[in-house]
Amino acid sequence: MIEDLKKDASERMKKSVSSLREELSRMRTGRANTSLLEPIKVDYYGAPTPINQVANVAVEDARTLAVTPWEKDMVPKVEKAIMSANLGLSPVTAGSVIRVPLPPLTEERRRDMIRLAKGEAENARVAIRNIRRDILSDVKELLKEKEITEDDDRKAQEEIQKVTDKFVGEVDAVVAEKEKELLEV
């Protein structure tokens, strides 16, 4: 019973860490990355559609993304969606290909992005602690129902704390890696 709770906690905490990784991958560094445009939605015949479902997004070189819409009449709509996404990008259209040059990051912008990354990491830590709290309340409920002993309760608390510490450590490692990546010039 306690093993099931521990496994559940571990699964949920793993999801929090992978969510943080995904969120940080969207954060722009000095290099071009197709995940930068993933959150953008394009008006496709009246329906907001992810950009990767209406166009091919590719890395052209280290600082340029190439977006090729599958339909020629979608070029202005895709360009407008990129401009209105508030990513600080200025797309350049050349026929049916939209090139998105990524401006180099200033030192101040890098510091801001590190601050944002640390904020996201703190959100992940809070989520992990909330999961720990939920699991520990389930353990207390089992103790109250006399399904486990006080020794089992204490042991479960220690084990769940170890799992929590492991995943908080993973969050710290992920954010440290992103910080190093952002500071690279």
pLDDT tens sequence across 69-87 = 998 888 888 888 888 877 7
| Cβ within 8 Å of residue 134, ≥6 positions away | none
pLDDT tens sequence across 22-33 = 888 777 666 777
Is this model's pTM higher than 0.85 or not?
A: no
Average pLDDT over residues 44-61: 88
56 three-state secondary structure = strand
Q: Domains for the chain: give ranges and CATH numbers.
A: 2-26+106-183 (1.10.132.20), 34-101 (3.30.1360.40)
Note whether 67 and 37 are within 8 A (CB).
Answer: yes
The type of residue at 59 is V
Intra-chain end-to-end CA distance of the chain, in Å? 51
Residue 88 has a pLDDT of: 72
Residue 160 has a pLDDT of: 92
pLDDT tens sequence across 34-46 = 777 888 888 888 8
